[in-house]
Structure 1
Amino acid sequence: MQSRRVVITGMGQISPLGMDLESFTNAFDSGTSGIRKIESLPGDALPSPYAGEAREFTGNIADFGDVDKNAMRSIRKNLKVMCREIQMGVAAAQRALQHGGLGSGSFDPERCGVIYGSDYMMTLPEEFDKATAACVNGSGEFDFEVWAEKGLPEVNPLWLLKYLPNMPASHIAIFNDMRGPNNSITLREASAGAALGEAMMTIARGHADVIVAGSTGTRVHETRTCHSYLQDPIAKGTDESCGKCLPFDLNRKGMIIGEGAGALLLESLEHAEARGAKILGEVIGQSICTGWNSDRSPNRPAAIVNAMNMVCRDAGISASDIGHINAHGLGSQQSDWDEAEGLTKFLGDSVKTMPVVAMKSYFGNLGAGSGVIEVIGSLLAMQKKQLPGTLGYSTPDPKCELNVQADSQEIASDGVFVSLNFSPQGQASAIAIRGV
């Protein structure tokens, strides 16, 4: 069966750069960073007080956009069983549906689905405050032997629903009566590209006409932030330089934690044209790869080369057909070296001329939420025919031989770009999109 063309008809995002597409693109135009001193956590107690917080998102029903009354009632009722990551994911999806003009009752529920990426979601410590206190004995020690009798009854019976990574896709499907394919992908930063790729293939093979595809993630969280500072190469320190994400720059200090979610409304070309939808781009290729060494350690450069080669093969293009690459650009030393090595091997002689942008320089690492937001950034840039520069980039790292620019560059609105993301464990995903 001949595969169907898959187009993008709606976009929604929640990020440190705001909650609407206008404020998002204005930040790129003005070179405004969403990384500031952290407010949701005690910055003085952290190795660095800087983060990319989605400050405008409060979890209020108004944050979900102009939803109809039925969806509004359902969302408001279920807010209490959604952690912040899930709430952001649902809000981004609702905004993508609204942006694409796909309202309730205007589609076949059996032919519409949801595919969403996320990080693993961590419980807030306060979920277990009362339960833990109930198990403290007379010596002030926690007694696990009485957990079942005294502790467990103090835990909210619905607490687990707030943190399951399949819940964004579940809630979005229920709120919008989408009964078609539903899937959840948890591959850290590679989740976004994997979710978009799975959505593209689901529509292309005829199993759905419409898919809401997105991802949500955070590194700004009472527990997750502690894990990040223990495990990830984060910029540490209190001076201003430690509050800047500087991908591929010689003076980079490390990654900056952040939070956010993005969603795209994907449709078959036939479905979009039949309803008169405005087409924003076409997803033409996808890939997901893992690179490993013989000792089972991750080989990120190999994963990147494989992902880029596969996405081009899937899209039927060559490296020279790519207009720009939206890079992972974490801003940490080894990660950027690995990415530069992989892209240099893939690009060959064109490495000096291929435009590369790293949008995490504006908002930090949003975990699984980064990838779709970066795709939205490239789509908006192509609409304006102007690719934003990588914020703060001034001193090239000689080990990163990429064409990264601090200033904006003119690009074609109908060109092709590839969005690349990868995890520390060596999982890489890439998506190729053609503008209109």
Structure 2
Amino acid sequence: MSQKVVVTGLGAFSPIGGTVSETWDNALQGVSGVKTLTDDWVAEYDLPVYIAGRAGQSVEDSEFISKVETKRLDPSGQFAVIAAREAWKDAGFTADDADAAEELDPDRLAVSFGTGIGGVWTLLNSWDTLRERGPRRILPMTVPMLMPNGSAAAISLNHKARATAQTVVSACASSTESLHAGLDLIRSGKADVVIAGGTESAIHPMTLASFAKMQALSKRNDDPEAASRPYDVDRDGFVMGEGAAALILESEEHAQARGARVYAELAGSGVSSDAHHITANDPEGIGAARSIREALTAGDIAVEDVVHVNAHATSTPVGDPAEAIALRVAFGEHTDNIAVSATKSMTGHLLGAAGALEAVMTVLSVYDRKAPATINLENKDSEIDLDVVTEARELPSGDIVALSNSFGFGGHNAVVAFRSVN
């Protein structure tokens, strides 16, 4: 029988908080992190969308990154380092890296981090520099800053993770797939501890213009806090967010040996591909339902054990009902007993970091026995036959399971299941 994998540390740098505690408190209170963008480039390019969920704290104010590091990392890398260091500290390791910590073997420490776009700010700003000022002005660190694996590499260097440092790039499912990969690394015997998560910093005029051209973004510029409205009949697209989140995954045996506090068990995970359309969800939810069932099977979880789902729920007209159908296909009549939260209503959509942030919230839902709010749901779409949590709600006592869903462009589906622990 494969060994159990538990969560012992959490980190978050999100539109609703610069730390896990701030993020979680605001999620329970229903606080929106979506604001109007005031950058000069909004007017310069006459952008059709100028609202987004910027990180709720400036990088300079974080205790988890140095000024020197900010100059050597793309914003996505900065966010990743901050979230990973908070999770590391939260896990209670006795030193800042595996070389110095007696309870860790660096050859048994791994990193599995996801991103949807990588260092897009560095890439596009460097292109501007090349055109306007010539090749001599390109920074020597440009390639390490823009490469998608730069964040995982930075985390590996910081914490001396030598088992592996891998990057998952599968659009909006990236960081949930990184948790899936982290679970496999421990269950296969490759690692004892994995720093898993995801990061994204893509609030750039080019990306906003591109997503807007696809009709994917909400154009509710006059009311930013109400723009992300999953399941509402008046939803008109997602709101872009930014940030990072990290989870310390650990074999139960390793966690017990060092007396670690355990939040929850990462009991199972599932992945699949729709092979349906490059951007649209399968309207019948077949692939999404398969990934849900795979997560349940992998974790030896009965359908009736699931009490909560943190849904992908991006606030798009097509995606929200497709996920609702997938939940019905996977859970049948038990769907009526599942409390569903759509936290992108507060954070916006963090693309490759969304799954990790929502996984952090799902872990805390199991640990604190609370489902976070879904805001802006004023008139529920009749196609959404779900019990949606509009105000933070208590979850049952006893053994419970909660799921976090992520479905990305390209037909990527990923689901993780967390079980409560005594």
TM-score normalised according to structure 1 size: 0.88
Provide the C-alpha distance between the structure 2 equivalents of 1:247 and 1:227, rounded to a whole number of angstroms: 21
1:376, CA displacement in angstroms?
A: 1.3
Residue 309 (structure 2) aligned to one of 303, 310, 325: 325
Aligned partner of 2:331 in structure 1 is 347
Q: In structure 2, do the counterparts of structure 1 residues 241 and 100 end up closer, same or farther at CA, with 3 Å as the change threshold?
A: closer
What's 2:403 paired with? 418
1:82 aligned onto 2:73: yes
2:233 is the counterpart of 1:250: yes
Matched, 1:287 2:278: no
Task: Determine if contact 2:278/2:409 at 8 Å carries over to the other structure.
Answer: no
Where 1:220 maps in the other structure, the secondary structure is coil
* Distance of 2:342 and 2:243 partners within structure 1: 16
Distance in 2 of aligned mates of 1:253 and 1:294: 20
- Determine the C-alpha separation between the residues in 2 that align with 1:286 and 1:33: 29
Once residues 286 and 388 of structure 1 are traced to their aligned partners in structure 2, the CA distance between those partners, rounded to angstroms, is 22
One-letter amino acid of the counterpart of residue 57, structure 1: S
Alpha carbons of structure 1 residues 363 and 295: separation in structure 2 relative to 1, 3 Å: closer
**CA-CA distance at 1:305 after TM superposition:** 1.0
Matched, 1:118 2:115: yes
Superposed displacement of residue 198, structure 1:
0.6
Cα distance, 1:169–1:293 mapped onto 2, change above 3 Å: closer
- Superposed displacement of residue 51, structure 1: 1.1
| Pairing 1:181-192 to 2, within 5 Å after superposition | 181-192=164-175
1:297–1:214 distance in 2 versus 1, CA, 3 Å? closer
Structure 1 counterpart of 2:49:
48
Is 109-118 or 345-354 further displaced after alignment?
345-354
* Preserved contact between residue 279 and residue 410 of structure 2 (Cα < 8 Å): no
- Correspondence 1:308 to 2:292: yes
- Aligned identity (percent) is 27
Deviations 1:60-117 (A, max 9, x none): 3x5253xxxxxx7xx6544323110111011100110011112232211111111100
Instruction: Say whether residues 1:360 and 2:332 are aligned partners.
Output: no
1:425 alignment partner, SS class: coil
SS of the equivalent of 1:333 reads coil
Point out the more displaced range, 275-284 or 218-227.
218-227
Paired amino acid for 2:268: G
**Which of 149, 155, 178 is 1:195 aligned to?**
178
State the one-letter code of the partner of 2:415. A
Q: Distance in 2 between matches of 1:114 and 1:97?
A: 12
Partners of 1:233 and 1:219 in 2: how far apart? 15
Q: Does the residue aligned with 2:172 lie in a helix, a strand or coil?
A: coil
Structure 1 gaps of 5+ residues are: 66-71, 135-150
Q: 1:204 to 1:23 in 2, by over 3 A?
A: same
Residue in structure 2 matched with residue 172 of structure 1 by the alignment: 155
Matches of 1:405 and 1:63 in 2, distance apart? 31
1:183-262 aligned within 5 A: 183-231=166-214, 233-240=216-223, 243-262=226-245
Match status 1:92 vs 2:83: yes
In the alignment, the residues of structure 2 paired with residue 41 and residue 359 of structure 1 have an alpha-carbon distance, to the nearest angstrom, of 29
- Asked whether the equivalents of residues 124 and 223 of structure 1 are also in contact (C-alpha less than 8 Å), the reply is no
Aligned equivalents of 2:370, 2:361: Cα separation in 1: 11
Quote the residue 1:428 is aligned against. Answer: 413
What whole-Å deviation, never above 9, does each CA across 1:330-355 have from its counterpart, x for those lacking one? 00101112112222222222233321
Provide the aligned length of Structure 1 versus Structure 2.
409
Q: Is the 8 A contact 2:12 2:19 kept in 1?
A: yes
Q: Could you say if the C-alpha distance between residues 296 and 325 of structure 1 is closer, same or farther in structure 2, counting changes exceeding 3 Å?
A: closer
Instruction: Give runs of aligned pairs for residues 101-140 of structure 1, distance below 5 A.
Output: 101-102=92-93, 103=95, 104=97, 105-106=100-101, 107-121=104-118, 122=120, 123-133=122-132
Gaps of 5+ in 2: none
**1:12 counterpart letter in structure 2:** G
Partner amino acid, structure 1, of 2:57: E
Corresponding letter in the other structure for 1:290: S
Return the offset for 1:253.
2.1
The residue type paired with residue 98 of structure 1 is K
Deviation, structure 1 residue 226: 2.3
CA separation in 2, counterparts of 1:14 and 1:217?
10
1-structure distance, mates of 2:350, 2:216: 14
CA contact (8 A) 1:291 1:427 kept: yes
RMSD: 2.2
Q: Is the 8 A contact 1:219 1:228 kept in 2?
A: no
Alpha-carbon spacing, 1:237–1:19, altered in 2? closer, same or farther (3 Å): closer
Contact kept? 1:3, 1:206, Cα under 8 Å: no
For residues 154-179 of structure 1, give each alpha carbon's deviation from its aligned partner in whole angstroms, at most 9, with x where no partner exists.
43333121111111111111111111
Amino acid at match of 1:189: C
Equivalent pair of 1:311/1:431 in contact (CA under 8 Å): yes
Distance 2:190 2:35 in 1: 44
Distance change (3 Å), C-alpha of 1:209 and 1:155: same
Between 48-57 and 253-262, report the one with greater CA deviation. Answer: 48-57
Q: Tell me, yes or no, if the aligned pair for 2:198 and 2:352 is still in contact at 8 Å.
A: yes
1:294–1:114 Cα change, 3 Å: closer
Larger Rg: 1
CA positional deviation for 1:14: 0.3
